[in-house]
């Protein structure tokens, strides 16, 4: 049991927490607030200077222009697809690492999963650009089967983003599976359950919160990405690209646009919280 | 202790005075926006911050043989800090920060910089090399206002049509190849990723659809803009990818992902140097193009060094070096004698005004029609930007 705080220790605690709290409220949340505020301003269409007159035109345009809806939906589906692909890849991989592979294998496998995180984002994305190109490795590997590579476009974006964020999904799932008590699997076997039944009724419920936690990473990172799209997206346009192209010309409109992913993430977090994935936080 | 208190009071007073002056300036009239050109130059400030296109301010870090920044620093004592910008829009927003002294702006940015007061008029008398600039580049609608120059012309070039000779067998001589005939190269057409590319469609429509009455590709009324957008949407179906980064375009043409589309001469040269079978032509309709101007920031902290840079970068020898490295027509007529390739100016049509008459230099589209129409409202750059988002879908 901790000792009751003395005035001195309370002072120390305040001094310790003040800088991060100040950072969180002023620099972090404060800048977000300013961003949202600027969405209610206007832009001089010729000089691109921000004109500080209060109006809701930007949001009105955002909601009534069909092209923004299309782009938002496309961004949302790509983020969802990346999350599903990563979950499907991470589950067997993490299961193998945590429960099947011998002790001596665990560490090298974990290192192998983490290694790509050391390489630069751009390097990896450009490597995929080369591989997915007209004369790239992917096309060459598929050619014997009479198939074509996906080329540049939405499929390529999903592939590359799923590749980039995969470690963020594997790690929480691996941690959850490693903590899963051996006894539960034994009990399931003793009760006559086969491998599939055990997987479905014991393993999956146990890792569900971990998958959801991983999905927060894959989903939100995909939602905000715009570099991968620029590199392998071909002519695809996502929310991030539209924001990037507007930032210099029409900051208020860009701010209004960037409210869209913020709203989507908040909705997603609320849904994930309902599912119980954030309880352990 | 006492002394420190005093100085604190003094700085407080100074801040108050500054605020008062600032308030005074704020209430002044708009003509003062953009500041004044200096009458004479002082000593260098020891430093100059510049925004440049890639290849315009080489200091030998990309290629040890290509370096005109260090000689400048040695000669003037002005340390150069270069920020490379990828697009005109980026240049405009960087200039707004007020942290830069000079910028190599293209015509789609210059008017915006002048109107927003971010660029100051330039006293060309203080740039001795200005007298050797080709007359056709002086006092143009995209680099001057009310008879005052807002910068020193640096170089110019056309946006050409490039194609792979092995994939596009019937040599195209018209922009029709990337517009009405784009479907032939389905998925392998490329276009410049910027709202200003709408002018390329307008340029094609000038001849393909004379009934629209387009006189200047940068002066489009709503109906004309809609027609250009419709054409671009049709083209979009055949586009493989848009480019704005020239490296991206080089790899796309080299690998065959793009087989036809707009380019700059420098890209064509670099792609050829990488052994890709490409050719670049100026189509019969003419082309859009760019003419770059070194402008000085209205908030320049190092104006003297900025003027020294302006004079240096258009001096015959350096202008020739930049023009050859970047692949453009130099602006200084004496530069043609200094190029290492004797036919450089001929290849890039540096003094060929007939050639450049076919090139419509990038100009910021504004509400007031640039073609002189009084009975119509034209679309401005903000509308073009939105239209461009629409085109890409």
ipTM score here? Answer: 0.81
| Inter-residue contact A179 to A99 (CB < 8 Å) | no
Q: Do A250 and B393 touch (CB under 8 A)?
A: no
pLDDT digits (tens, 9 = 90+) for A123-165: 999 999 999 988 889 988 998 898 888 889 999 999 999 999 9
Q: Which helix (H) or strand (E) holds B243?
A: strand B239-243
B383–chain A Cβ distance below 8 A for any pair: yes
Rounded CA separation B65/A42 (Å): 48
Point out which residues pair with B290 in neighbouring strands: B157
Give CA–CA dist B258/B266, Å, rounded.
17
Tell me the three state secondary structure of residue B190. strand
Q: Could you give the dihedral angle defined by the CA atoms of residues B89, B92, B96 and B102, in that order, rounded to the nearest 10 degrees?
A: 140
The gap between the terminal CA atoms of chain B, to the nearest Å, is 66
Q: How far apart are CA B123 and CA B149, in angstroms?
A: 8
- Residues A106 and A97 sit within 8 Å (Cβ to Cβ): yes
Using CA coordinates, name the residue in chain A closest to B244.
A230
CA atoms of B279 and B253, how far apart (whole Å): 11
Q: How far is B208 from chain A (nearest CA, A)?
A: 26
Q: Using CA atoms, how far apart are residues A75 and A225, in angstroms rounded to an integer? A: 9
Place of tokens 């990037």: A244
- Interface with B, mutate which of A44, A45, A48, A151 (most B CBs under 10 A): A48
A64 has a chain B CB within 8 A of its CB: no
- Measured at the CA of B220, the angle between CA B219 and CA B224, to 5 degrees, comes to 155
What is the model's pLDDT at position A42? 86
- Contact B239/A at CB under 8 A: yes
C-alpha distances out from residue B28 to B21, B22, B98, B298, B356, Å: 11, 10, 20, 16, 41
Q: Which residue of A has its CA nearest to B93?
A: A248
- Interface check for A247 against chain B (CB to CB < 8 A): the answer is yes
Low-confidence ranges of chain A (pLDDT < 50): none
Cβ <8 Å between B383 and A45: yes
Hey, which residues 28-47 in chain A have their CB within 8 Å of chain B?
43-47
CA atoms within 13 A on the CB side of B333: 12
* CA dist., res. A246 & res. B97, Å (int): 17
Q: Shortest Cα distance from A264 to chain B (angstroms)?
A: 20
DSSP letter assigned to residue B81: E
Query: Nearest 5 degrees, angle CA B255-CA B260-CA B264?
Result: 90
The neighbouring-strand residues paired with B48 are B80
SS (H, E, C) B119-151: EECCCHHHCHHHHHECHHHCCCCCCEECCEECC
Residues near B288 by Cβ (< 8 Å), separated by ≥ 6? B158, B159, B196, B199, B200, B203, B217, B359, B360, B361, B362
* Residue reference for tokens 């792979």: B164
Three-state DSSP at B294 gives strand
Using a CB–CB cutoff of 8 Å, tell me whether B316 touches chain A.
no
- The partner residue sitting opposite B257, judged by closest CB among A43, A152, A247, is A152
User: Using a CB-CB distance cutoff of 8 angstroms, which residues of chain A are in contact with residue B251?
Assistant: 129-130, 133
Mutate which: A248, A251, A253, A254, vs B, most B CBs within 10 A: A248
Q: How far apart are CA B332 and CA A96, in angstroms?
A: 69
Contacts A45 to B, Cβ<8 Å: 367, 380-383
Nearest CA to B288 out of B353, B217, B387 is that of: B217
Determine the distance in angstroms separating the CA of B252 from the nearest CA of chain A, rounded to an integer.
8
- Mark which residues 93-112 of B lie under 8 Å from A by CB: 93, 96, 112
C-beta separation of B111 from B340 below 8 A? no
CB-CB under 8 Å, A247 with B92? no
Which pLDDT belongs to residue A248?
75
Q: B241, A237: Cβ pair inside 8 Å?
A: no
CA distances to B26, B222, B283 from B196, rounded to whole Å, are: 33, 16, 18
Q: How far apart are CA B191 and CA B200, in angstroms?
A: 10
pTM to 2 decimal places = 0.82
Q: What radius of gyration, in Å, describes the C-alpha atoms of chain A?
A: 24
Tell the residue number behind the tokens 């210059």, with chain if given: B110
Partner-chain contact A134 B256, CB within 8 Å: yes
Other Cβ atoms within 10 Å of B381 Cβ, number? 26
Distance from CA of A185 to the nearest CA of B (A): 51
The answer to whether A237 contacts B239, with C-beta atoms less than 8 Å apart, is no
Nearest chain A residue (CA) to B116: A47
Residue A29 has which token pair? Answer: 């949340």
Q: Calculate how close chain A gets to B325, using CA atoms only, in Å.
A: 25
Q: CB–CB of B251 and A129 under 8 A?
A: yes
Per-residue pLDDT of chain B (393 residues; tens, 9 = 90+): 344 444 444 544 444 444 444 433 333 334 445 567 888 888 889 999 999 998 899 998 888 889 999 999 999 999 999 999 888 888 998 998 999 999 999 998 998 899 889 999 999 999 999 999 999 999 998 899 888 999 999 999 999 999 999 999 899 999 999 999 999 999 999 999 999 999 999 999 999 999 999 999 999 999 999 999 999 999 999 999 999 888 889 999 999 999 999 998 888 988 998 999 999 999 999 999 999 999 999 999 999 999 999 999 999 999 999 999 888 999 999 999 999 999 899 988 988 889 999 999 998 898 888 888 888 899 988 899 889 999 998
DSSP conformational letter for B375: S
Q: In which element (H, E) is residue B322 found?
A: helix B316-326
Please give the C-alpha separations between residue A182 and each of A93, A95, A104, A173, A276, in angstroms, as whole numbers. 18, 13, 18, 16, 23
Choosing among B382, B388, B390, B391, which should be mutated to test the A contact, i.e. which has the most A CBs within 10 A?
Answer: B382
B236 in reach of chain A (CB within 8 A): yes
Residue of A44, A46, A127, A228 to mutate, testing the B interface (most B Cβ within 10 Å of its Cβ): A46
Facing residue for A235 by CB, picked from B90, B251, B392: B392
Quote the pLDDT of residue A127: 93
What is the SS3 assignment for B388?
helix
- Please give the pLDDT value at position B20: 40
Residues of A in Cβ contact (< 8 Å) with B238: none
Q: DSSP letters along B85-128, please?
A: ESSHHHHHHHHHTT--SEEEE-HHHHHHHHHTT-EE---GGG-G
- How many residues would you count in chain B? 393
Retrieve residue B210's tokens: 């004379």
Residue of B nearest to A45 (CA): B382
From B93, B366, B393, residue closest to A46, measured CB to CB: B366
């Amino acid at each position: 049991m901790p000792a009751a705080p003395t005035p001195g220790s309370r002072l120390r605690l305040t001094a310790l927490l003040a800088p991060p709290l100040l950072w969180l409220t002023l620099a972090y949340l404060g800048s977000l607030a300013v961003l949202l505020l600027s969405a209610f301003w206007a832009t001089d269409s010729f000089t691109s200077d921000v004109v500080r007159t209060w109006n809701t035109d930007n949001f009105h345009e955002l909601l009534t222009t069909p092209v923004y809806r299309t782009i938002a939906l496309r961004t949302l589906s790509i983020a969802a697809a990346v999350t599903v692909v990563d979950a499907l890849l991470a589950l067997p991989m993490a299961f193998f690492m945590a429960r099947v592979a011998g002790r001596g294998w665990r560490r090298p496998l974990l290192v192998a999963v983490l290694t790509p995180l050391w390489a630069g984002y751009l390097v990896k994305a450009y490597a995929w650009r080369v591989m997915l190109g007209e004369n790239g490795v992917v096309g060459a590997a598929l050619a014997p089967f009479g198939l074509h590579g996906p080329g540049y476009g939405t499929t390529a974006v999903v592939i590359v983003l799923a590749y980039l964020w995969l470690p963020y999904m594997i790690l929480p799932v691996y941690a959850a599976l490693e903590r899963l008590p051996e006894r539960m699997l034994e009990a399931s076997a003793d009760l006559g359950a086969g491998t599939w039944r055990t997987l479905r009724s014991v393993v999956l419920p146990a890792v569900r919160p971990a998958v959801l936690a991983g999905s927060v990473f894959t989903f939100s990172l995909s939602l905000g990405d715009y570099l991968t799209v620029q590199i392998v997206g071909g002519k695809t346009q996502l929310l991030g690209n539209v924001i990037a192209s507007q930032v210099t010309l029409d900051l208020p409109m860009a701010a209004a646009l960037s409210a869209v992913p913020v709203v989507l993430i908040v909705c997603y977090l609320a849904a994930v919280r309902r599912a119980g994935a954030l309880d352990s936080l | 202790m006492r002394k420190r208190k005093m100085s604190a009071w003094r700085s407080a007073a100074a801040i108050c005075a500054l605020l008062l002056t600032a308030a005074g300036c704020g209430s002044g009239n708009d003509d003062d926006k953009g500041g004044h050109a200096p009458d004479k130059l002082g000593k260098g400030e020891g430093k100059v911050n510049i925004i440049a296109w890639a290849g315009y301010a080489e200091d030998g870090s990309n290629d040890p043989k290509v370096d005109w920044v260090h000689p400048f620093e040695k000669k003037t004592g002005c340390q150069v800090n270069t920020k490379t910008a990828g697009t005109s829009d980026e240049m405009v927003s960087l200039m707004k920060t007020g942290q830069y002294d000079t910028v190599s702006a293209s015509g789609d940015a210059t008017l915006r910089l002048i109107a927003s007061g971010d660029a100051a008029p330039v006293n060309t008398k203080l740039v001795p090399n200005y007298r050797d600039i080709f007359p056709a580049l002086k006092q143009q609608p995209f680099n001057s206002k009310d008879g005052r120059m807002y910068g020193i012309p640096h170089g110019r070039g056309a946006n050409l049509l490039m194609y792979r000779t092995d994939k596009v067998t019937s040599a195209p001589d018209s922009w029709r190849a990337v517009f009405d005939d784009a479907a032939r190269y389905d998925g392998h057409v490329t276009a410049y990723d910027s709202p200003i590319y709408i002018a390329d469609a307008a340029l094609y429509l000038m001849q393909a659809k004379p009934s629209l009455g387009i006189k200047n590709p940068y002066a489009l009324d709503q109906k004309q803009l809609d027609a250009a957008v419709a054409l671009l949407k049709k083209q979009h179906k055949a586009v493989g990818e848009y480019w704005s980064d020239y490296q991206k375009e080089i790899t796309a043409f080299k690998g065959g992902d793009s087989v036809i589309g707009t380019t700059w001469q420098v890209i064509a040269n670099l792609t050829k140097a990488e052994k890709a079978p490409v050719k670049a032509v100026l189509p019969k309709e003419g082309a859009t193009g760019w003419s770059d101007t070194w402008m000085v920031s209205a908030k320049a902290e190092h104006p003297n060094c900025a003027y020294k840079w302006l004079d240096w970068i258009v001096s015959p020898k350096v202008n020739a070096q930049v023009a050859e490295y970047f692949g453009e027509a130099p602006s200084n007529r004496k530069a043609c004698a200094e190029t290492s390739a004797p036919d450089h100016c001929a290849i890039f049509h540096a003094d060929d005004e007939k050639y450049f008459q076919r090139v419509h230099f990038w100009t910021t589209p504004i509400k007031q029609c640039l073609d002189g129409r009084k009975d119509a409202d034209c679309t401005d750059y903000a509308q073009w930007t939105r239209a461009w988002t629409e085109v890409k879908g």
